[in-house]
């Protein structure tokens, strides 16, 4: 696989800043203002599908827990508003 390296700020890149983008295809950056192709390299990747899948599952679990926590907070607030309203009107 060939990997193409594009940079947007040559001065920053030469000073060690990470103002670059790597892509697996040539986007013809000469046609995109501010970007240009700095070079390319052939790379070989050994992909660990199990690790990638587990990482995605972990991310989903984390997002799910966040949503549950936010839902519980909102439900608590609604129940509190309801209880306050009922106490003002002296209803059980």
Please tell me the distance from the alpha carbon of residue 36 to that of residue 20, in angstroms, as a whole number: 10
Contacting residues for 39 by C-beta, under 8 A, at least 6 apart:
4, 5
**pLDDT reported for residue 37:** 80
DSSP string, 28-63: -GGGSTT-EEEEEEE------HHHHHHHHHHHHHHH
Find the domain containing 12 and state its range: 2-42
Residues 68 and 91 placed together within one structural domain of the fold = yes
Predicted pLDDT of residue 81: 94
Residue 14: predicted pLDDT: 74
pLDDT in 10s for each residue of the chain, 92 residues: 888 888 877 676 677 776 666 777 776 655 667 777 888 889 888 889 999 999 999 999 999 999 999 999 999 999 999 999 988 887 66
Count of domains observed in the chain: 2
pLDDT digits (tens, 9 = 90+) for 59-80: 999 999 999 999 999 999 999 9
Rg (CA), the chain: 26
Whether 57 and 24 share a structural domain: no
């Amino acid at each position: 696989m060939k990997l193409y390296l594009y940079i947007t700020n040559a001065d920053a890149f030469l000073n060690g800043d990470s103002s670059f983008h790597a892509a697996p295809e040539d986007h013809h950056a000469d046609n995109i203002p501010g970007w240009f192709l700095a070079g390319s390299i052939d790379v070989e990747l050994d992909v660990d599908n199990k690790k990638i899948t587990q990482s995605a599952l972990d991310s989903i679990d984390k997002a799910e827990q966040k949503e549950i926590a936010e839902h519980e907070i909102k439900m608590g607030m609604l129940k509190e508003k309801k209880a306050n309203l009922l106490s003002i009107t002296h209803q059980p």
